[in-house]
Copies of this chain bind each other. A is one copy, B any other.
C-alpha cells in the first residue's frame, strides 16, 4: 500500500474535529475539546496533524475526493443516458445534489457533519474563497458547462448568478440550522435532505430556465 493506514485514534480525532468545527467554526473549538471528545491527550492532535490549522485542513480535505467522485459519476451517468442534446437542467441539478444524500444512505453521521462544515466554509468571508476553490472549483465548473449546454444562448453572467442561487440554497440546507423547522412549525425538517432536494431541484431548474432561457422549456 502506498498510503499508510492511519491509526484508529487519529481517525477519531478527525471525526470529533469534524463535528465540532461544523457546529462552532474554527475558532469556536479548542484542541482540548477535540481531544476530550476523542478520548485522547491534547498533544496527540499536534503529533498527528501539526498545527491546529493543519488539522482543520486535514478534516476539510478528508472526504473531498470521495465526494467529488460521487458527484462527477452522477454527472457522467446522466450524460451517458441522455440523447445527443445532453441532459436537461433537472437532470444536471439532480446529479449535483443527490449524491449529498450519502449520509442518510450510508448511515454515517460523519458525512452529515462534513457537509455542515462545507456550509460553514462556503459561507465564510474569511475561509470561503480560498478553501472552496482549491477543492471544488474544477467540479463546479464542469457542472456549469453542462448547464450551459442545456441552456443554449445563456449569457455567462446569468449562468453564474443562477449557480450562485443554487449554491446558496444548498449551503443553507447543508448547514442544518433548524430554522426552517421552527418557521414551518415542524412541517419541514432540516435533517430531511431528501425533501429539501425534492423541492430544490424543480425550484432551481425553473429559475435557471427563467433567467437563462427566457422561461422556455
Residue numbers of A with Cβ under 8 A of B are 22-28, 116, 119-120, 122-126, 128-129, 132-133, 137, 140-141, 144, 156-158, 160-173, 175-180, 182-184, 187-188, 195-196, 199-200, 202-211, 215
Contact = CB atoms under 8 A, between A and B. Distances in A.
Indicate the member of A119, A199, A203 with the most B CB atoms within 10 Å: A203
Nearest to A24: B126
A182 B133 contact: yes
Contacts of A168: 168-173
A114 to B, nearest CB: 13
Q: Oligomeric state, in number of copies? A: 2
A129 B163 CA distance: 26
Given A128-B178, A132-B179, A164-B188, 13 more contacts: A24-B27, A25-B126, A116-B125, A122-B172, A124-B177, A125-B177, A133-B182, A160-B180, A161-B200, A163-B180, A163-B183, A166-B169, A168-B168
A153 to B, nearest CB: 16
Nearest to A214: B202
A22 B125 contact: yes
A162 B203 contact: yes
A171 B123 contact: yes
Nearest to A170: B168
Contacts of A141: 183
A144 B180 CA distance: 12
A199 B158 contact: yes
